[in-house]
Structure 1
């Protein structure tokens, strides 16, 4: 029993916390930043103003996290984000392939709570910042649940709040709205009619019941559905993120008028549901009920802070590779009309680049302050470039970048600007890649030092046996062939059939830019006469001038079938000149105006289990999975497969790395294949399997003859093994015990 006597006044308690790094904001970007910094040895405090982590990806908003893979709807092959963001996607797939948003919350909370060196403060809103010159020295927050104030002192800060709370309170330079076309030469600059900011959205989930359900709309529900010009797009099957275009608020102050925007979105949501339930247009909705409606809006855009580089449209469309490239994006430049659901414009204006683009470190810190990193959707970018870089997996990737950058700044006593110098930034680029964080068109230098590598076998592509299944060539189809510089394209044998004589043109195509997967150059072609069922040999007198993927493209000919195989190969796939309606309107990107973008065909894979591979022969056999790939610093398929794959009949695949001189190491990081082309959207969509087929699921790792790890349920691309103390390595041996169902693939052993 406690009895408290009356007093004149009381105050809530205060706690003082000291940290190496304060991360403000617990969305995917803030979480990845905090995890990366803590894993690199910093004492980190992560402050989140909500009860869960994930931001727009959490169960409070329920937007699927996506990034450069763009729902596998553009030409960015093997582009899924790596490092910690990739780890989160893979862990969610393993635990939650059904896409339950509550389970995704659990994945994120578990990662944060189990990370040594990371203090998590939920339900805590920062409201005050103290500065000393150009440095933030402390920030104060309040948690209304436990009625506690927190005063957090930190040597470095990272703003991942979306709205830029730290930067705003500290007085840092920022922008809102869209730049005029004349400022940066961006032809996608929207102008006043389209509007200068993206709005908020609120989603809802529905479900079928076994009996009729009555719905009485609230008094504030939208009554006239025709106020939404696109209302005829509404159906009873739309759900959750399918209704991304229920958006509004882009002409308001998207920070200080968020509550006004929320009420208008509730009005829209309940009006839409009233229309679906009670208009009589959807009789199947009689037994449907609304299961969940968001209570906070998902916010797209507010403040963007200014660094030493302002990412712009040309950076994206031209795929500029910056000297300080530390991250990348690949979502389309995706701009929405400011009037949102009430606009007569299309719900979005989307244009893709021909491949991934890189993001410089100079866009990831404030030029106003010496110790403030920026990540998430508030980075230094124009409104147009923000339209691509804002998506959550890109934000998460950039979170890891700034977390590891903060650790290097701490270790070497540098400011972010000093780390971004050309003479130093390579230190961060190499550290990111050694941790499994892929950067396009970069390589990890000497991942295993001066090691010699030997393997028990090597898979060579000689023949893929037919499985008695056939695919009609109703659309253009291409096989991606990995070729090395100076290598002659082998003769490819395929089996075709046609009931009546047909002609079929087969072409060999290439991308203009190394590492892209947009076929633009015709290298050679051959026309076949197809009659009945018979094998055909495709011979092209072409020598590859560089390491690259070539497209062996079959024209659309619905009266011709091609024989298929059951064999799947890592780093080799079939793509189709087809449409993904989630991210494009046509099978070809078409610019309906002078927007400063390229027109090109989309070549898309099919999602598992619907991916197919043609049965074929290859003369001479294509040697694309050699042991030397383990030393080339490539972390995934790009200009080549970059993987070692054992022979199909190798019952006990092993790799051995040996050093003539002892190689000191503390951490051994293995990079496996978990199909970086497979989009792992976090919620709603659901996925076929918990781990992709080529992933090594069981292995043993030996160091100097001693077993240091035996893993029997792996589902990650990056597997890091930290030793209790540094060891001089003379030999490392990896035994592959099992895969997830297909040929296993290994990319690298990184020693640090």
Structure 2
């Protein structure tokens, strides 16, 4: 037993740990940073002040993870973030297609604790920073309330992914809070004082139907007058969780130090809304419903933003500027909210999209005046306007992965973050990121160490898109739709589609492409046709005699006509999809973006896919076929569809689809990387949405790799990930590797984006 009568000057139990990198903040950004760095071979301490990982995406807050895909509501095709965050999201879909927040928590915890190079400290808050010199952090002090232990944590490198930037703040890193004026960066969308300078916090609730009458007596502090919320008429009993994202407050307060005040106001609002639903008599269907969960901590949107060597700004997003040090990307709209939040008479958000995804430069990811401090998550170097886009979790995770890899390279070469801007080191960073699944727009992987660059590549077959069979339902042209097809520069082949016509009419066809190879907004009209149709079912020949100026996707658009239905196809092919000129109010998509002339945002139409099981391709025949799915694609350095499909597909009649790498002499192979199609167009929201599949239909579900003696050296079953990195238990010496693909999760033509060998 322990017995102590009294003592002067007792000290907390103190533990001292050292690492190569200390990451503060266990939100999605901190998690992805820590895992990336640990897998690159350095020792990481991940410090999280909450009992769970995931931050705003965790079961404590329950906000869906989104980024460039924007709920499939913009023109950013195949834009979901890659790397570790993709691994997390594909695993979550596999285990948790119903979006249970608690299961999502377990996946994050498993990913972190499975890494032997990560020491995880939960319930541990950093409260002090010690510096070696004016611009170098030496250690941080942290306290765990659960075990009453003080931690002294030292490292040569630090990453602040804490949301409010506690380490960066205490270290004296330059920061901003609030909005810049229009004149500072020439940002025309800079908000007025009336609109406000900060986004507020939100707090959510879940409900369930008990199957029997239930009562609700509101707490005394619940909001009494629901009409104090200008949007109260939008309240309905079916929404829950982050569908109530607009329950927002605090933008007029200090969003760091007034968080507890903000939380109490949000609790008042939440319980007032539920009282309204249960007891106003306007929602009889709620008589058997009860509150299942109310958030205990608010989800924060904005507080401090720290300054790097470059600040991302509105023009980078709208015009998709290119940067030589690009290491990540974004694609969410510029999404600013009125500072008064739920009590504002203004719309709850003001979203303006760009035509495509934009690059995030490495210079935004470290402090310009604290030399060994990286920045990750929503605190990266960005203006308030640009922050409106870069703040979302998918984008934050993407940038944080770049930080994790940068930290590993800094450790390896004994450098501070800024010193990676040397050309050779920057190329090494970009190459390493792409190898781990990161997508960097407009960059191709060029890896001289990859043995596949020296190989002769053959395939058992190569898919040619001659037709999409006419075996599906008819799709009404209640809204304009388009088949998105990849083509080489040159003449465009004629196609045949199949129509069912209610009464004689004219079908308007518009052939379009994009003004840049880097996006999929159909803002260039190449040709327009008017095709008279008779009543009844008929084949429609569409003769396209124009010229495509560069390799790219074309949109064969069939314009709205309620008298016409077009036959669909059950065929699903990687890199082939239909898009529709419909609306998606959830992301401020009303068919077209028509901004005021003075805010620096472009006008254009939205053409977006539908979610499966809808979103079928159009049945069609393509004269001459489209032969862009060759085996050579596996080494072109692009691991998703962009301006071309960038994938090798086997013919759908191939009974043993296989890709073979030949070398003139034997090679010693220790590692093999395979990249599969997990449908980067699917957003994979981790909560609220129920997903129709556990694995994406285009993804190869099993494969076998054989050596030059046809011996299997590796077999993987139940594959559902984009990237399989296979470290062989013993090096293989061979002059040939053959990869046999054993089907996909959706009976689609199997294929590979990339094969790499080391």
Question: Shorter-chain TM-score: which interval?
Answer: over 0.9
Say yes or no: does 1:66 pair with 2:71.
Answer: no
Q: Distance in 2 between matches of 1:8 and 1:346?
A: 59
State the match for 1:751 in structure 2.
757
- Which residue of 544, 550, 554 corresponds with 1:550? 554
Query: Please, what TM-score do these two structures have when normalized by structure 1?
Result: 0.98
State the match for 1:342 in structure 2.
343
Matched-pair contact (CA < 8 Å) for 1:449–1:663: no
State the match for 2:722 in structure 1.
717
1:258-291 per-residue CA deviation (whole Å, 9 max, x = no partner) reads 1111111111111111111112222222221111
- Name the SS of the counterpart of 2:19 in structure 1: strand
Aligned pairs (5 A) from 1:257-276: 257-276=258-277
- Name the SS of the counterpart of 1:299 in structure 2: coil
- Which residue of 686, 690, 697 corresponds with 1:686? 690
State the match for 1:94 in structure 2.
94
- Shift of the 114–566 alpha-carbon distance from structure 1 to 2, 3 Å rule, reads same
Give the deviation of 1:105 after TM superposition: 0.3
- Name the SS of the counterpart of 1:723 in structure 2: strand
Q: Distance in 2 between matches of 1:423 and 1:101?
A: 42
Give the deviation of 1:554 after TM superposition: 0.5
- Name the SS of the counterpart of 1:738 in structure 2: coil
State the match for 1:740 in structure 2.
745
State the match for 1:489 in structure 2.
492
Say yes or no: does 1:81 pair with 2:84.
Answer: no
- Which residue of 566, 572, 583 corresponds with 1:568? 572
Q: Distance in 2 between matches of 1:26 and 1:640?
A: 37
Give the deviation of 1:564 after TM superposition: 1.4
1:419-440 per-residue CA deviation (whole Å, 9 max, x = no partner) reads 1234431111111111221111
Q: Distance in 2 between matches of 1:4 and 1:163?
A: 41
Q: Distance in 2 between matches of 1:611 and 1:468?
A: 11
Q: Distance in 1 between matches of 2:186 and 2:64?
A: 32
Aligned pairs (5 A) from 1:41-56: 41-56=41-56
- Which residue of 503, 506, 518 corresponds with 1:515? 518
Matched-pair contact (CA < 8 Å) for 2:73–2:589: no
- Shift of the 356–522 alpha-carbon distance from structure 1 to 2, 3 Å rule, reads same
Give the deviation of 1:442 after TM superposition: 1.1
Say yes or no: does 1:591 pair with 2:591.
Answer: no
Unmatched 5+ stretches in structure 1? none
Give the deviation of 1:662 after TM superposition: 5.4
- Name the SS of the counterpart of 1:582 in structure 2: helix
Q: Distance in 2 between matches of 1:546 and 1:585?
A: 29
Matched-pair contact (CA < 8 Å) for 1:461–1:622: yes
Q: Distance in 2 between matches of 1:35 and 1:614?
A: 42
Give the deviation of 1:415 after TM superposition: 1.6
- Shift of the 172–726 alpha-carbon distance from structure 1 to 2, 3 Å rule, reads farther
- Shift of the 468–260 alpha-carbon distance from structure 1 to 2, 3 Å rule, reads closer
Aligned pairs (5 A) from 1:153-232: 153-232=154-233
Q: Distance in 1 between matches of 2:79 and 2:587?
A: 16
The more displaced of 602-611 and 734-743 is 734-743
Q: Distance in 1 between matches of 2:736 and 2:588?
A: 50
Q: Distance in 2 between matches of 1:52 and 1:203?
A: 17
Q: How many residues align?
A: 751
State the match for 2:399 in structure 1.
398
1:69-116 per-residue CA deviation (whole Å, 9 max, x = no partner) reads 000000000000001111111010001010000010000000011112
Query: Please, what TM-score do these two structures have when normalized by structure 2?
Result: 0.97
Matched-pair contact (CA < 8 Å) for 2:657–2:750: no
Q: Distance in 1 between matches of 2:589 and 2:156?
A: 48
Q: Distance in 2 between matches of 1:654 and 1:525?
A: 41
Q: Distance in 2 between matches of 1:105 and 1:125?
A: 20
- Name the SS of the counterpart of 2:649 in structure 1: coil
The more displaced of 419-428 and 228-237 is 419-428
Q: Distance in 1 between matches of 2:531 and 2:476?
A: 16
State the match for 1:246 in structure 2.
247
- Shift of the 164–704 alpha-carbon distance from structure 1 to 2, 3 Å rule, reads farther
Unmatched 5+ stretches in structure 2? none
Give the deviation of 1:392 after TM superposition: 0.4
Give the deviation of 1:702 after TM superposition: 2.9
Q: Distance in 1 between matches of 2:34 and 2:487?
A: 40
Matched-pair contact (CA < 8 Å) for 1:101–1:684: no
- Name the SS of the counterpart of 1:506 in structure 2: strand
Give the deviation of 1:704 after TM superposition: 4.9
- Name the SS of the counterpart of 2:194 in structure 1: helix
Matched-pair contact (CA < 8 Å) for 1:435–1:669: no
- Which residue of 645, 648, 651 corresponds with 1:647? 651
- Which residue of 579, 582, 601 corresponds with 1:578? 582
